[in-house]
Amino acid sequence: MEFDFERESNKPAVMKILIEIFIWAAQIGAVIFIAYFIVYYCVEKTNVIGHSMENTLDADDTIIINKFTYLVSDPERFDVIVFKQSGKEHSYYNIKRIIGLPGETILIKDDKIYINGNIITDIVNVEPMINYGLAEEEITLEENEYFVLGDNRNNSEDSRFASIGNITRDEIIGKAALRLSPFNFISKLNLVESQD
């Protein structure tokens, strides 16, 4: 019986190649997983459609959506959100500012926004509203609903109108976080100057 020394000496080389292939495949798999996680759960890029958020955001501004923040926390008043309503007239990404939170009652009269009977002060520069829409009468939000307005109050289709209505939590894609050009945090744009 003859022993094949050459075949026996090739085993470490074959094992080394197999280990390298396994490591290479694992790295590719990890990169694909991380890319998938980032795109679907962390950030996304989109463009602003229309003029409803001027003077905060202009039509065709490119923004980054932070999708992760609402996985770990709830949307807050004055957050600029990106949402998509399926089965509605508009099936594209819409961008508006949250005014009313779940369970609150909203009323707009004399160009003032009332939340649960108390006037809230806008944090952004806006023109006086001409049309109060459905909010001329009290609107009480359900436990998963948000009332949103565009910053361009007289040229915005938002929660004041039946075509948009109240936004549900599951329709929210994420928080509009960054404007790419000129670069800025969206939460810092068009703010009312402090009266201190």
What confidence tens digit (pLDDT) does each residue in 144-189 have? 999 999 999 999 999 999 999 999 999 999 999 999 999 999 999 9
Give the closest residue to 155 by CA, choosing from 85, 50, 79, 65.
Answer: 50
Three-state DSSP string of 147-159: EEECCCHHHCCCC
Give the closest residue to 46 by CA, choosing from 185, 191, 194, 179.
Answer: 179
Residues known to be catalytic: 52, 96
* Paired residues of 105 in beta bridges: 140
Q: What residues contact residue 191 under an 8 Å CB cut-off, 6+ apart?
A: 123, 124, 125
DSSP track, 70-124: HHHS---TT-EEEE--TTSS--S-EEEEEEE-TT-EEEEETTEEEETTEEE--SB
Give yes or no for residue 195 having a pLDDT over 50: no
Give yes or no for residue 194 having a pLDDT over 80: no
Give the closest residue to 75 by CA, choosing from 50, 55, 101, 109.
Answer: 101
For tokens 């004399």, name the residue: 110
Model pLDDT, residue 196: 42
Model pLDDT, residue 93: 93
Model pLDDT, residue 164: 93
* Paired residues of 191 in beta bridges: 124
Model pLDDT, residue 90: 61
Could you report the per-residue pLDDT of 55-91, keeping only the tens digit for each? 999 999 999 999 999 999 999 999 999 999 877 666 6
How large is the C-alpha radius of gyration of the chain?
A: 26
Residue 96 has phi, psi (to 5 degrees) of -145, 175
